[in-house]
Every structure is written in C-alpha cells, then in structure tokens.
Structure 1
Amino acid sequence: MPNTTLYKAIAAVPKFRDRISLFTKKLRLAQYADGSIYDYRLKIAQAVFFFNKLPDEFTQTDIDYYLSTLLDKNRCSLSFFKHMIFGLQAYYKVMGLKQPGGLVLPPVRKPKRLPRVLSQEQIARLLRNCSLYDKTLLAIIYDCALRVGEACRLRWDDICFDRKKLFVFQGKGRKDRYVPISDQMLVVLKAYSHLATGMHCATYRSSSMCRFVP
C-alpha cells in the first residue's frame, strides 16, 4: 500500500475508506474544483490519521486541540490552517452532518495586505524589456481588468471588435463573462494582429506570468 497520508489514514481507520470515497463523490456532485477536492481529501485524511477516528466522531475538544497544535510554534502556514478549516467545513456540509454535536469551527481571518503597485519607472523598464506579444498581453490585462489566468487563456475568437467586448471563458468561480474593451486597446490589438503574422508567440501559464505581474 502506498505510503501516503490518505492510505495511512485508511490503514489506521478502515471505515475511513468508504467515508472518503463518499466524500469525494459528493464534492464532485457539488461541482467543487479538482484542486479543492484534492486538498480537502488530504486535509481530512491528516486529521483522521492524527486522531485515529472518523471526522464524524470528532468532538469540539478534538477540533480545538488539533487546530491549536497546527498553529503552535508555527508548525503550519496560515494557508494550511485555512484549508484545514475549509476541508472540515466541506466535509460536514456535503456529508449532511452540519457540524455534529454543536461543533464550532473558528472563522478564517484574512490578512489585511496593501496592494503591490509598480512605479511609473518600473512599468517603463518592464515594457522596454518586453516583446510585442508581452506588451500586448500586459496592456489587455490592464485595460480589461483581467486576472492573469484569464489573460493567458485568451484566443482571438474571444475578442468582439464590432461590439467592443472581450469574452472571458470560465473566469473566477468558473463563470463566463463579457468585459468592455477601450477604443485604444482595440487599435493596439488590430495593429498587433497585422504585425504578429508569422511571429512565434510565447504561451504563458499563470505561475510564469506572476513573476513579473504583482
């Protein structure tokens, strides 16, 4: 049997195999993202392995002790702590348990962070070192207020020149939407479409774009 947290939890609590299988099916039926399903399964398995019992049997004392242990001496990141709570909330919700026994999970406090803003000098230096494709991509992110991942998935078919609209496919929350494009951006896109004919254009992922977009 593979030496992973999930299989360790199943080995420690055999009944957990059926529960985690049902939990996974219910998450998929509820249309949770694949990344969330993977993360929640892992977090639940870690808690089960820690206590050697099903989440259905957790008490308030168990929850408080486990979460405080995670925070003690910075044993986990804030992100890990947050997703552990989200995982437990998802388990009780989709399994129809509604936090049995009056369990109360602590609220997740979001850190207050100021936005990182580039200076005019930094922007000018960035653009001087960009290719035509990169400049166009950065311009459309700024003009249409796109998320990095949304911009990386754009296709020419998504641009409605006549309607001055941009179609964003499966943005945040897996929702489609239309956003307006300025006249200046349309001019840039039309110029780019002529100049870029036959050019090799890079393909970006969100992670690579984030290296130079705050």
Structure 2
Amino acid sequence: MTPLRERMLHDMQIRNLADNTQKSYLQQVSSFARHFRRSPELLGPEEIRAWQIYLTNERKLAPSSVQLAVGALRFLYRVTLRREWSDEDFPLPKRPVKLPVILSAEEVTRFFESVPSLKQRTILMTAYAAGLRVSEVVHLQVTDIDSQRMVIRVHQGKSRKDRYVMLSPRLLEILRLYWHEAHPREWLFPGDIPGHPITRSAVALACDVARRRSGIRKPVTPHSLRHYVPFRIMSCIRVIARFPGQMDNTG
C-alpha cells in the first residue's frame, strides 16, 4: 500500500465512512492513477476533466457512476491532499430523473412464489416488507426482531445510522415460520461460512433466479424490492396464505 493510499484510507476511517464507500473510493482513485500512469499527487483539474470525459464517452458509464468517481477524487484532493480547489474543479453530471419500474400485486405474488427456498424467500420478503437495503437485511441479527414493540432494529444503515423500521404482523408470521424451520442463533440469515451472515451476492443471485422462474421481464433486484411500497401489505397477505403450518408466538 502506497503512503498516499494509506493516508486516504486513514482519513476515511477517521471520518467513519462506510466500509463500502472506503473500498469504492480507493478503487476509483486507483483507476484514475492507472489511467494516467502517474501518482494522483501529480495530477490536477485538467486530468480530472479528461477522466470524466473518458468515463462518459469511452466507458459509457451512467451519471451515477461518474458521480461516484468524482466524489472519490474530491475526497482525495480536498481532504487528504488539502488542495484548495473549488466545486468547479469537480463538476458533477446531472442524474436523469426516472420513474421506478413497479411490479403489480399479481407480479409480486408470482415472484415470491417462485423462490424455492424458505430462507431465501424470507430474506427477500423482509427486504420487501420492511423496505430494507440488501446490506441491511443480510446483517440482521436474531435479537433485532422486536415482536413486543413490533419494530426491526437496523444497525449502521446508510450514513452509519442506527434506526428502527416497522415490523408488520404478516412479516412477523413469516419470520416465525422461518425461525422454527432454521433456528438461527446469531445472524438471522447465516451464510455458508460459520459465524458469518449470508452474502449480498447470494441474495442477488436468489432474486435473479426467482425473477427468471416467475417469467417476469421487468427488472427485479433486492434493491428495487424496497421501492414496491403500494403492494407490500396486500402481497404479503396473499403469499403467506399459501404457506403451510401455523406459527407460534416466539417473541
């Protein structure tokens, strides 16, 4: 690790940036340096401008991806290298405003019925019914489900903030069915490696498999599930009615 990379990493750690942000920023700066084959300390606003043009015209990256690259360089030069550069030295592309693709109630039901594994179905339903990010749902612990207050505790979500989200009675039933089947101890959704939660890539794969099995052609990802608010309650009711068995009061 170069001294500059280490210093930038320490600057991000001191400011308690999310682990994923730290990794992304370091990757973006490394790509920037490799492109020009020089240390970032020797590069300036003209190279940043040329880099943005390259990412936009040659790599065909979306504005959101270019914004991430610029954000990483802005942190490097303003925080780590302490260059007194203005916002004009880091122009950000405007992100187009697009309406989200929404699944109908029937499509949501068909999607969840296409998830063969109870564990995978419960993970995706939790993300859907509670509106959780995939990084949040995979890091849920058994003790985060508070059935007395009907809330789910989310540890260190976006911007490193803890928060509570509502736990619907229907989702609680689904979680109890899963708990009686799997008996998780620490992590609510443990992964293949003992002591570790399930990975985000495993959840993404399960989501993609279910989408293809359901025949739905609209894009469905763990992230997009949390945006299907209008049909959450109705769909959970319809799907859970097809699950066998009755859940006990465990919490």
Fold shared per TM-score above 0.5:
yes
Asked if 1:171 is matched to 2:165, the reply is no
Going from structure 1 to structure 2, the CA distance change for 1:39 and 1:99 (only over 3 Å counts) comes to farther
The answer for the alignment partner of 2:78 in structure 1 is 93
Given candidates 79, 93, 109, the residue that maps to 2:94 is 109
Q: Percent identity?
A: 26
Going from structure 1 to structure 2, the CA distance change for 1:28 and 1:154 (only over 3 Å counts) comes to closer
Q: Could you say which structure has the greater relative contact order, defined with CA pairs below 8 angstroms and 6 or more residues apart?
A: 2
Going from structure 1 to structure 2, the CA distance change for 1:94 and 1:192 (only over 3 Å counts) comes to same
Going from structure 1 to structure 2, the CA distance change for 1:184 and 1:53 (only over 3 Å counts) comes to closer
The answer for the alignment partner of 2:13 in structure 1 is 28
The answer for the alignment partner of 2:146 in structure 1 is 160
Given candidates 187, 210, 213, the residue that maps to 2:204 is 210
Give, in whole Å, the separation in 2 of the partners of 1:183 and 1:149. 23
- How many pairs align? 196
Cα distance, 1:89 vs structure 2: 0.4
User: Partner of 2:89: helix, strand, or coil?
Assistant: coil
TM-score by length of 1: 0.71
Larger Rg: 1
Asked if 1:123 is matched to 2:137, the reply is no
AA matched with 2:172: L
Going from structure 1 to structure 2, the CA distance change for 1:139 and 1:84 (only over 3 Å counts) comes to closer
User: Partner of 2:9: helix, strand, or coil?
Assistant: helix
Cα distance, 1:147 vs structure 2: 1.7
Asked if 1:41 is matched to 2:31, the reply is no
Give, in whole Å, the separation in 2 of the partners of 1:59 and 1:197. 55
Matches of residues 70-89 of structure 1 in structure 2 within 5 Å?
A: 70-72=55-57, 74-78=58-62, 80-89=65-74
Cα distance, 1:107 vs structure 2: 1.4
Q: Answer yes or no: is the 8 Å Cα contact 2:17–2:160 preserved in 1.
A: no
Render the CA deviation track for 1:63-102: whole Å, top value 9, x for unaligned. 3233223333x33523553332112101122226244488
Q: Which runs of 5+ in 1 are unaligned?
A: 1-5, 7-16
AA matched with 1:75: R
User: Partner of 1:69: helix, strand, or coil?
Assistant: helix
Q: Which runs of 5+ in 2 are unaligned?
A: 192-197, 208-219, 222-251
TM-score by length of 2: 0.62
Give, in whole Å, the separation in 2 of the partners of 1:110 and 1:185. 35
Give, in whole Å, the separation in 1 of the partners of 2:123 and 2:199. 12
